[in-house]
């Protein structure tokens, strides 16, 4: 049900499932995928599959939403009659999207905004966006949203397993030595975001199966710290594995009350390549 007083704006790399974007009436600001022949709007004019299909010829770059894209969304929000908005973005430690949306919000003085830096990416950020939608729907007063969302961010984690280190290396996310040693020994890192919202290695394992097993283990341990939680499993061209991981999560995390799944955005595909599995956990407090 769409709240008529507080709008919810998210960026496309929060990876909120489309059906939830529609049911909660979220406004989405798309990031950008850049090829030598032109730029594309994340999830709008390019799909994850199109990025996979073009990897052999070119690995694109990515960038923040264009100022025009951000303004277009804020214009729609104000035109729809909103005077308050909660804006949820991926980590400021991984993207300048947060800063862009902060500066865009300053252009719309008639719109009072709370801007949430999730310190996370992909479905890690998406879980926070979904929780924001639920709080708005519950009628949490606007002046309490910043404090409530700070707690939500603190209680949300995502753990990524990649099938290859190649794309993280080419995107400058890991060093040459890490890449060379990891590839040689088939060492697979389980990656998450730290308190500053920057990638770090949670653990390492040899081979794909052990990597996913370790990710499941740390996710389950995080979930055990809460009486209730939401869980999510997303994938990058690894749908069958994701179904298996989600089935295991639903069995082992007995305290879950919400389950989400889906595919990662084209922008995240660029940085992780095919084969990503992401496991999100959010402790639900209050």
Check residue 190 and give its pLDDT.
86
By CB atoms closer than 10 A (0-12, 13-18, 19+), residue 59 is middle
Return the structure tokens found at 154.
């603190």
- Over its C-alpha atoms, the chain yields an Rg (Å, rounded) of 18
Judged by DSSP in three states, 232 sits in strand
Q: What 3-state class would DSSP assign to 258?
A: strand
The pLDDT value given to residue 181 = 43
The pLDDT of residue 177: 36
Taking CA 245 as the corner, what is the angle to CA 242 and CA 249, rounded to the nearest 5 degrees?
Answer: 135
Paired tokens of 218: 């740390």
Neighbours of 196 (CB within 10 A): 11
Give bridge partners of residue 39 from the DSSP assignment.
34
Distance (Å, whole) CA 232 – CA 122: 11
Contacts of 185 (CB under 8 A, 6+ apart): 206
Global confidence as pTM: 0.92
Q: Tell me which H or E stretch contains 283.
A: strand 276-283
How far apart, in whole angstroms, are the C-alpha atoms of residue 81 and residue 31? 25
The mean pLDDT values, 10 residues at a time, for the chain of 286 residues are 79 96 97 97 96 93 96 97 97 96 97 98 97 96 97 97 66 48 64 89 86 95 96 94 95 94 94 91 90
Instruction: Compute the distance between CA of residue 162 and CA of residue 64 in angstroms, rounded to an integer.
Output: 23
Predicted local confidence at residue 185, as pLDDT: 56
pLDDT of res. 206: 84
Distances in Å between the Cα of 261 and the Cα atoms of 43, 154, 175, 246 are 16, 21, 31, 8
Distance CA 220, CA 211 (A): 14
Beta strands 276-283 and 229-236 are antiparallel
């Amino acid at each position: 049900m769409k709240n008529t007083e507080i709008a919810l704006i998210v960026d496309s790399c929060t990876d909120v499932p489309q059906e939830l974007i529609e049911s909660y009436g979220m406004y989405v600001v798309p990031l950008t995928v850049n090829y030598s022949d032109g730029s594309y709007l994340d999830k709008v004019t390019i799909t994850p599959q199109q990025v996979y299909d073009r990897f052999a010829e070119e690995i694109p770059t990515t960038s923040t939403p264009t100022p025009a894209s951000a303004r277009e969304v804020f214009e729609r929000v104000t035109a729809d009659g909103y005077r308050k908005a909660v804006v949820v973005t991926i980590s400021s430690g991984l993207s300048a999207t947060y800063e862009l949306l902060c500066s865009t919000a300053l252009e719309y003085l008639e719109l009072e905004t709370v801007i949430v830096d999730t310190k996370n990416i992909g479905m890690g950020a998406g879980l926070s966006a979904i929780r924001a939608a639920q709080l708005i729907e519950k009628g949490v007063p606007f002046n309490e949203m910043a404090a409530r969302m700070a707690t939500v961010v603190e209680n949300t984690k995502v753990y990524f397993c990649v099938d290859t280190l190649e794309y993280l290396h080419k995107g400058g996310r890991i060093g040459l030595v890490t890449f060379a040693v990891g590839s040689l020994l088939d060492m697979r890192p389980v990656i998450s975001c730290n308190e500053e919202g920057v990638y770090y290695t949670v653990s390492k394992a040899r081979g794909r199966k052990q990597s996913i097993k370790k990710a499941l283990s740390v996710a389950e341990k995080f979930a055990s710290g809460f009486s209730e939680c939401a869980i999510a499993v997303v994938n990058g061209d690894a749908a069958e594995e994701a179904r298996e991981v989600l089935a295991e999560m639903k069995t082992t995390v007995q305290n879950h009350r919400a389950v989400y799944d889906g595919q990662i955005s084209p922008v995240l595909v660029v940085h992780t390549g095919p084969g990503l599995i992401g496991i999100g956990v959010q402790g639900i407090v209050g």
